[in-house]
Amino acid sequence: MSVKPSKLPPFDPSDPLGIDDLLDPEELAIRGTVRSWAADRVLPHIAEWYEKGELPGIRDLARELGALGALGMSLQVQYGLACLELEAADSGIRSLVSVQGSLAMYAIHRFGSEEQKQRWLPGMAAGEIIGCFGLTEPDHGSDPAGMRTYAERDGTDWILTGRKMWITNGSVAGVAVVWAQTGETAGGSGIRGFVVPTDTPGFSAPEIRHKWSLRASVTSELVLDGVRLPADAVLPEATGLRGPLSCLSHARYGIVWGAMGAARASFEAALDYARTREQFGRPIGGFQLTQAKLADMAVELHKGVLLAHHLGRRLDAGRLRPEQVSFGKLNNVREAIEICRTSRTVLGANGISLEYPVMRHATNLESVLTYEGTVEMHQLVLGKALTGLDAFR
């Protein structure tokens, strides 16, 4: 008995694989809400913010994102969709949310005491309190075990001394999660996390200027000059590198989605331009070489979205391994940069103008490529997983 085939839906250039079929109504609604917010509050201003190298009104933006429910979301596919839409506006906006939710809030939620959670998390979820995460140092990025920031006991108190570098949200944060050596055990296993109110004497966060990437983002140095903290400032459930690295894995997951947002915005700009820009008497989208570029970009973009979706379902099910996050971060950021660069060639000289989003996304992704794990580190994570042999040391 033959079955009459149903009528095929029309081909949708914005969703050529029908990935939206994998999303439930609530997920689609959240995506639409965040996309509308970004279109209203970010896109009209982002080129100016980027050109000036500032993010004015960051506290208002944080409160609005809190009202949207974008800070500390519990369902990870929903969080990923929010990251995609935020980074389609700008990587700096997604970084604000990632550091707030996946690093600072996650560290307190996962490793903090009940008192720490009650004191900080409600205000952070509402965007009333901005958080930052101090792990990277001027001389130690990919090797956090070598950090020099030191926490020394003085009676029941701790005294923190050191510096952290390239800290998103640092100079506007009300609370910092800072990781430091304690000397309690050797080999990095004595690293502990501290919840540091940023008004504590000895704490300062000078802003880093003269960036050519993530310009619409607050980036700071953290200076800890004999910062005295009570015993209950320690994250009680985090000992050694397991704590900060698990936070990074959580944040990298958001990057897997976010990078595809930057790629999508650049691809859409190139596609629209190819349909309207005329050379030799016809739109450039009608030439074979331009269509080849568009086809290749569409393939990599939507493969990346499918990968992010798959990892999100695994995370919601409690089955996502750190190596799989490395897989996603390595692939999606690398492909997103290539999509931006190819989009720039479709736009020609217009591709370098801030009237289009392409160059802004490309330069932002140069930072995303190396923060929270360089290409080389994620390659080695996967290499170790594949071979069983550790090439780090």
What is the rounded distance in angstroms from the CA atom of residue 327 to the CA atom of residue 311?
10
CB-based contact 159:151 (threshold 8 Å):
yes
Other beta carbons within 10 Å of 365: 28
Label each residue of 16-66 as H, E or C: CCCHHHHCCHHHHHHHHHHHHHHHHHCCCCHHHHHHHCCCCCHHHHHHHHH
Burial letters for 158-191: b for 16+ Cβ neighbours within 10 Å, e otherwise?
bbbbbbbbbbbbbbbbbbbbbbbbbeeeeeeeeb
Give the DSSP letter string of 189-205.
Answer: TTEEEEEEETTSTTEE-
Give the pair of three-digit tokens for residue 199.
């008004």
Active site residues: 372
The SS3 of residue 239 is: strand
As a whole number of angstroms, the distance between CA 291 and CA 312 comes to 31
Phi, psi of 194 (to 5 degrees): -130, 135
